[in-house]
């Protein structure tokens, strides 16, 4: 998805599941997807092993919205 951080924030209330690719590298940028690890409305459902051998290591993480 392209857009500023506010686009991400506006989208999340309509999502029940989030499939995130976490790139394990620091980048200079002004916009990032919200860190769902720090959001009490979300819980981690699955976290795959780190993939190496690419330019930047990464991993896939799936989050689900907690039931109210």
Q: Which tens digits make up the pLDDT trace of 6-53?
A: 888 888 999 999 999 999 999 998 888 889 999 999 999 999 999 998
* pLDDT band with cut points at 50, 70 and 90 for residue 3: low
Half-sphere exposure of 1 (CA within 13 A, CB side): 17
Q: Please give the Cα distance from 54 to 47 (Å, whole number).
A: 18
pLDDT average, residue stretch 52-59:
93
Residue 50's pLDDT is what? 96
Name every residue whose Cβ is closer than 8 Å to that of residue 22 and which is 6 or more positions away in sequence: 58, 59, 60, 61
Residue 35's pLDDT is what? 92
Q: Is the pTM of this model over 0.85?
A: no
Q: Which domains does the chain have, with CATH numbers?
A: 5-65 (3.40.430.10)
């Amino acid at each position: 998805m392209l857009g500023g951080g506010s686009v991400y924030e506006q989208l999340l209330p309509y999502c029940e599941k989030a499939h995130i690719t976490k790139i394990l590298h620091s980048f200079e940028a002004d916009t990032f997807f919200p860190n769902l690890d720090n959001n009490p409305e979300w819980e981690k459902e699955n976290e795959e092993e780190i993939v190496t051998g690419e330019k930047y290591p990464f991993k896939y993480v799936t989050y689900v919205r907690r039931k109210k």
